[in-house]
Structures are given as C-alpha cells and as structure tokens.
Structure 1
Amino acid sequence: MLMIIWWLMRDLYKRLGVSESASTNEISTAIRLCNDSALRIDASEVLLNENRKRSYDKIHRTLEDIGSLRAEFCLNNSEHWKDNIATDYSKESPHKAPSNQPTPAHEKKYSDNFLVNFLMKLFMWCVDLVIQLLKGVLAGLLEFALRLLPLALIVVIAWFFIDANETKKVEKQPEVVFEQPELTSPSNGSVRKWTSASSLAPLSIDTSPGSDYLVKLVNANTGQDVLDVYVKGGRNIELKVPLGSYHIKYASGEKWYGYEHLFGPNTGYSKADSLFRFEDTGYQVTGYTLTLYRVTNGNLRTKNINKSQF
C-alpha cells in the first residue's frame, strides 16, 4: 500500500520524459536510459504491468486535472500542495499578477482551512470576473458613444437649419372662429325622415334637463340615415319608426345652430353599442324605450364618436 501511494505521488511519465500515450517499447527505452535507479524500478513495476498501468493512468489523469484547477485558482503554493505532487503536477497559473501590481483578491489566502480558503478564492474569482465583464461593457459603450458623437452633432446642426428655414416659410395659421348665429331650436319631437317606408314600430325617448338631443336612426345594413328626431332636455317623446335594424346615434348640446352645425363646436357625439331591431313578429311589433341619461341597472352602453362618424 505504501509503494502504491509513493507511485501516485510522482508523475512517472514526466520524470521519464514520455507521454501517457507512449508505446510499451518507448516506455521501456526511457526506463533503460534513466539514470535514477529507484525511478527505473518503480516505473518498471507500474508502467510495464498492464493492470497497474491502467490503474495508475486513471489516477494520473485525475491529478493532472487537479493541478490544472489549482493553477486556475492560483492555489499552487497552498500548504496542502507540497513535495512530489506540487513538483510533478503543478501548472503555470494563467492569472499570475505582475510583480508591480497588487495581488488579486482571488489569489490571497483567507483561511488556514483548505475548504474555506478554496471557497473564498472561488467566490472572489467570480467577483473579479464580473468586474472585468462590466469594465469591458462600459468601455465598449463609451467607445460607441464617442463614435456616434460627431454624427449626432451633424444631425442636430442640420435639423436646426432645416427647422429655421421651414419656420420662415410657414406662416402661422389663424385660429378658426365659430361665428354662426344661434337659432331657435326645433320643437320637441320634430322628425325628419329619409324613407318612404311606413312607420309602425314604437320608440320612446327620455332625456334629462341641461342639454337638447338630436337622435338619429341609421340603417344597419346600408349605413343610410333613416330619420332623426329633436328632443328637448328634460322632455320625452313617443314616435313610430319603420321596421328594420338600426344603429342609434345622437348629438347633444345647449345652443342650437341649425342642422348643419347642430350645437356648434361644443356638440357632443355618441353612439349606442346595441343594435336595435324593430320587427313585426306576427303577434306584436317590437319597440324600445331609449333613456339618454344614467339610470340604475341601465343596459344601454354608449361610446363617444367624432363629427364625421355622426
């Protein structure tokens, strides 16, 4: 057992000057030419014995990996890495700091306990890696910004001159002033009709005080206006409309300027979300009651529209 441990402590291939993949003849030649008699005996017993060589090669590769890992984390000088192992399996650290630079945080010794020291070095190595990555990103962003600076200045200068020239060309447009005279509003229930169809279905409209309304029925299939009716604020009307499916829109306001300008620039335009179907079922003619103000549990949903949609 002691002899096996002694073999494991040394890199027999390195001491003989051959690689692990060398042939048996190459190993035999290296052993014969070796001047160290003890090394010749050990190498012969291990490397020229197939079973022992197979076992030794597995452990040899493991020690090679450990040596590379310790070099990566700058642990070659640890108190637990000494004698033959340190001599034969140590690698040169890729992170070796210049002599005139302070020792990096991940190369310092933090504890006499191997595991604690190793974990601290690993943590500090990760911290150093993140810092280097951030420095690289910031440096790249700074270089990118510096390269774009001249182009940005050119764009700003060009925009300044173009904007100045356009300002000289474009004169300020005068504000449109609504100057239409206020007119007497139509009587409550005044109807305008654009169809010759008979009016058979009942429609009741209730409003609240404050604004007058012009309610319009639009054919849902053709988009053509069918009729409109003027309703005074706080009043209600009942009328008959032709059978069919309609969208209901309405305009509202306080001052009347005629059917072209309705309630002037302050006109509010709305449209009911529901589709209204006035039908003759053979037993009765369906109708609706339209309430143009908020009521508890009301089921009429409306949305605002613009003048062109009215």
Structure 2
Amino acid sequence: MSSITEFIVLGLTQNPGMQTLLFAVHLVTYLITLSGNLLISVTISTISALGSPVYFLLSYLSMIDGFYSSSIAPKLMFDLVSRKNTISFSGCMTQVFAEHFFAGAEIVLLIVMTYDLYAAICKPLHCMTVISRPVCALLVVVAGALGFLHGGIQILFMVQLPFCGPGVIDHFMCDLTPLLELACMDMHTLGPLISANSGSLCLLTFSMLVASYVVILRSLRTHSSRHKALSTCASHVTVVILFFVPCSFLYLRPMTSFPIDKAVTVFCTIVTPVLNPLIYTLRNAEMKNVLKKLWHSLHPAP
C-alpha cells in the first residue's frame, strides 16, 4: 500500500562536529557492549562453577543485549558519517521487527530471572527442581518465541499502513511513533491499537515484576543470608528499572513525538545494553572472582 520505497532518517543531529563526536562515543559504547556481553556469555558457558540457573539465564540475557544493540547501533553510526541517510522500506520494517523481537525476548527473560530469584530465596530446598537446567532452556525458547510473536505483530500492523511521502523520519531509527506520524491515513483508531501492543506488554510485565519483588522482599525479613540475597535483588531491580522506565515513557502514552524521545531511545537501546554486564559483574562476588581467576590465568605473574 506504500508509495515510497525508502525513508530519509534525520538522525540525532545535523551538526557535523557533533556527528563526529557522537560517532566516536557510540563506537566506543558499542564495542564495550559487544565485548562485555560476549565476555559474560563465554565465561558462563566455559566455567563449570557458574552452572546454576541464574548464570545460565544471564548468559542468554547478555546475548540478547548484544543482538538488541546490534539492531540499532551500526545503522546509527553509519548515518553519523554518511552524507545521505536513507533506509529502504524493507530495511526499516526489518529494524522495527528486530528491535521489538529482542526487546520482547528480554522482557520475558527478565520475568524468568525474577522467577528464578523467587525460587532461590523463597523455595531454596526446591529451587533446583522447580527451575532446573531443562526448565531454564525451555523458558529461554519461550522467551524467544514470545519476542518473535511481539515483533511479528508490530510488522503486521506497520506493513499495511500507506506511506505516501515525503518519508522523512525525524529520528535516528525506525520505530512505531515516527512511522505512524508518516502514515497518510487517520490514525486515531489504529494508532492506539498499535501502541497498546508495546505499552500493555510494558505495563503488564512491570506490574508482575513489582508484585514478585514485594513477595521476595517480605520473605527476606527472615532470610539467613539476607545481605547476599539483597545484593542479588538490587542488581536485578536496577536492570529492570533501566529497561522499563524508558520503555514505559516511549510506549505508555499517546503516539506523539517529543523532543526528548531521541535521548530516551538512545538510553534504552544503546546505553542499557552496555550497563547490564557491568551491573551484574560489579555487584556479583562470584562472577568477579571467576573473572579475576580467568584474567590471572591469561596473564600470569612473571
């Protein structure tokens, strides 16, 4: 139904000096994201001491973060140094799907990690049977399937919209709100329906996580190793807040663009994936000890 074959992406800024600076910043951030998340995934998969379900799930969270950032960052960096910032219609739809696929999978995986946290604290004697390695593997597959379903629903809506030009996206990526503003049809009915797919997912998931934390924190009042459990909870809560606060701002509202949207989206898609490995390693004594031993084995003292 669309009469245009490509979109023009305005990007973060039109200032050449700022574009060069932003390219350098995003390049460093992206390299740290890939190396940090890859390090966590490889370490967990090769060190037998990190064989518990929480680390198994963390390795997949790290992989999702790497793919999530890779669906946005390379195109963003290319546009910062390119004179003609365009993206094809199919490329734009692919980016929308990839973004929501990995974001949806991460949301479900965060729920699974909360369930594992609940089992470890509230049901310690039954933890290994309630959430065993096969169960974790199945839940990871479910997270991927639900993420695929979420991204697929977005695409089913978007590809049916008529885009009749000029096709200028006032953003650095293809996403729901910038694209809905370009559709040449009345969006008063369809717009809220499309946004409800992402907005309701954020709201429902965040409500479930808050309820889970209430139960976990109540059980910690009588927990023997309260400090260690609180440290684990703090890491997970921090990651959840960093992910859901920007997500809620972008999708739990009417489909209208605001000037701050670009900064919030950068934080959600670029900054959060680089913070997650830092949060989980710096606040996890077991993970830090394993990484120290690995470093010393690779760089033995003379």
Q: TM-score, normalised by structure 2?
A: 0.20
Larger radius of gyration: 1
Larger strand share, 1 or 2: 1
Report 1 or 2 for greater relative contact order, CA contacts < 8 Å, sequence distance ≥ 6. 2
Larger helix share, 1 or 2: 2
Q: TM-score, normalised by structure 1?
A: 0.20
